[in-house]
Amino acid sequence: MDFLYRNIHMEQKKWDASTQITIEEDINIPELKGDCMTMLLKDAALNIDETRVGRDQVVLKGALQYQILYETEGGQLEQLTGTLPFEEIINVSGTTPGELANARGVIEDFKVSMINTRKIAVQSVVMLYAYMHQLLEEEWTDDVVNAGTDLEKLFETREVLQLCQKKSDVFRVKEELELPGGYPAVQNLLWKHVSLGDMEARPMEGKVSLKGELNCFFIYTAQGAGQATKMMSKKVPFHGMVDCSICQSDMSVSAMPLLNQYTVEVKQDFDGEDRILYLEAALDLQIRIYSQEKIALLQDMYSTSQEMTLEEKTVQAPVLHIAGDGKCKLKQTHRLKEGTPRAVQMLHSCGTVFPDREVWENGKLNLMGSVRVQMLYMTGEEEMPYAISECDVPYTLEMESNNAMEIATDGESLGGSMLQKPTIMIEPRLEQLEAQLVDSEEMEVKGILAFSVLVFDSEKQQCIGGAETRALDTAKFAALPSMVMCFAEKDTPLWEYGKRYYMPVEEIKRLNNMSGDCLKAGSGMLLVKGAR
């Protein structure tokens, strides 16, 4: 007899590690800039520039980039930008020098405080993650041939989402944003904030289609007498393709987008005026292409004319629980603190996502955290016309596994056992955020928070790895009754009766005029030893 095999491709976590660090520094305001009277907007981004794997350790090098907008005496706005480098060693058991690892960082908190009018303290709590995923190829036994006509075979058919392609890529968005008519030319760009809004990834033949938008907000001082302060919001749509040679339109795709870097430059228009804001943004993509297939797994077999000893083997089966987006709504009413300047006009609102917990239990992923919302508004006061107010808006999101099998709280699944805890990858983004004045002391915050989520693991499965045949055990065969009526105390597969009495399952069905593959509890049927 000859066994036929099928190769199954999957992704599995080899190792991972994390550490929490604090990045902080006191920043002196340059001499040419005015004194800081009030802190307004603040923003930070974390870049990991180098990941180096050594013996039982991973070295991460990168930097925290920050920008700060503050108000001087007299109501003028000033900007501070800077970079705070870091280098961190994470101890990981079992790493080998030269391994290709991935790394990411999550800003868990970011605070800016005024020490005095010429010095500002910057502090950020950052979670650093390093991990390595390996691609596995498992050999499943899916049939046996050249074994004669007296062989009975039992299969389990599984729907498997195979990993067909995994690649990292960068999708670049380049756009010239022209100031609206009536807006004065740019003298100095004070603030720029670009975030990823809605985005959709779709599989196509040989490509992945990306479609989405970037949310942009700018503050600048205008040219001309008085150098007025101007603000502009803009949604920048984008659409394009990423080459993925194996991709087909009926496959599934996970892109895990992350807006990691962007630059904004002031350029001249055709009339030589500084009225163009040139945006260049880079979306980091971790693309995975999956195909859904029905695959038969050979789980048992017996001969009606010979004795057979089976050799079992353990294989791994990929389990893709979640690959897609989840969304939740944000809503909260915020009241200004006592002593805070009253609001007469809302200018801008922006938010930073601070994840708190992610819990995987009973086949469900629960995400909890908060969005720190900054609201910039006009006060109506001549000396200090701008003010900022902050509030933390909590969020919760539950996403359920797409996999049909049940999963117990201890990680054991029906039909197999989990090899490890699932790998969970999450990238949050604020698709929409808006703050409106209810009155001069109260604001209402609304928004939509989206998460690109990937949750996968593998489970153990048993299948036939080989078999040995020998002559029929005549003594064992003779000891069986020639005919017998069997009654089931519980639902019992016909396979068990056929294997015990050397009968094909189809013959049992024919003799008893049955259509199903199971003898129901309390029912009976006739068996004839060796009947074919």
Pairing of strands 345-361, 38-54: unpaired
Residue 147 lies in a domain: no
Q: Are residues 222 and 317 in the same domain?
A: no
Return mean pLDDT, the chain. Answer: 90
H helix count then E strand count, the chain? 3, 25
Confidence of residue 318 (pLDDT cuts 50, 70, 90): confident
Q: Could you tell me the two tokens for 153?
A: 């075979």
pTM score, whole prediction: 0.83
Percent of residues, the chain, with pLDDT higher than 90: 75
Q: Are residues 343 and 464 in the same domain?
A: yes
Q: Are residues 287 and 326 in the same domain?
A: no
Amino acid at 144: V
Report d(CA 194, CA 281) in Å as an integer.
9
Range 467-484 average pLDDT? 91
Of the three residues 291, 318, 344, the one that is the final residue of a domain is: 291
Q: Would you state the pLDDT for residue 494?
A: 94
Q: Is residue 220 a contact partner of residue 69, using CB atoms and an 8 Å limit?
A: no
Range 57-81 average pLDDT? 94
Residue 150 lies in a domain: no
Residue 67 structural domain:
14-134
Q: Could you tell me the two tokens for 289?
A: 């292409």
Q: Are residues 465 and 482 in the same domain?
A: no
Spatial CA neighbour of 321 closest among 255, 365, 355, 368: 365
Residue 154 lies in a domain: no
Residue 344 lies in a domain: yes
Q: Are residues 466 and 479 in the same domain?
A: no
Residue 326 lies in a domain: yes
Q: Is residue 401 a contact partner of residue 407, using CB atoms and an 8 Å limit?
A: yes
Q: Are residues 448 and 493 in the same domain?
A: no
Q: Could you tell me the two tokens for 202?
A: 């779709």
Summarised one tens digit per residue, pLDDT across range 366-418 is: 999 999 999 999 998 888 899 999 999 999 999 998 764 333 333 332 233 33
Percent of residues, the chain, with pLDDT higher than 70: 97
Summarised one tens digit per residue, pLDDT across range 418-440 is: 345 788 999 999 999 999 999 99
Give the CA dihedral 5, 8, 14, 18, nearest 10 degrees.
Answer: -160
Looking at the 3D structure of the chain, how many domains does it have?
4
Q: Would you state the pLDDT for residue 420?
A: 54
- 218 forms bridges with which residues in the sheet? 192, 232
Spatial CA neighbour of 279 closest among 259, 257, 254, 301: 259
Q: Are residues 282 and 384 in the same domain?
A: no
Q: Are residues 355 and 453 in the same domain?
A: yes
Residue 77 lies in a domain: yes
Summarised one tens digit per residue, pLDDT across range 341-357 is: 999 999 999 999 999 88
Amino acid at 433: L
3-state secondary structure at position 500: helix
The CATH number assigned to the domain holding 520 equals 3.10.350
Q: Is residue 417 a contact partner of residue 457, using CB atoms and an 8 Å limit?
A: no
Q: Are residues 245 and 371 in the same domain?
A: no
Of the three residues 243, 263, 291, the one that is the final residue of a domain is: 291
Confidence of residue 28 (pLDDT cuts 50, 70, 90): very high
Residue 146 lies in a domain: no
Q: Is residue 396 a contact partner of residue 331, using CB atoms and an 8 Å limit?
A: no
Residue 158 lies in a domain: no
Q: Are residues 282 and 351 in the same domain?
A: no
Residue 478 has pLDDT above 70, yes or no: yes
Summarised one tens digit per residue, pLDDT across range 50-68 is: 999 999 999 999 999 999 9
Report d(CA 168, CA 101) in Å as an integer.
12
Report d(CA 263, CA 293) in Å as an integer.
43
Q: Is residue 307 a contact partner of residue 150, using CB atoms and an 8 Å limit?
A: no
Of the three residues 435, 452, 472, the one that is the final residue of a domain is: 472
Q: Are residues 463 and 521 in the same domain?
A: no
Range 455-477 average pLDDT? 90
Tell me how far apart the terminal alpha carbons of the chain are, to the nearest angstrom: 21
Q: Are residues 489 and 522 in the same domain?
A: yes
Summarised one tens digit per residue, pLDDT across range 159-190 is: 888 899 999 999 999 999 999 988 999 999 99
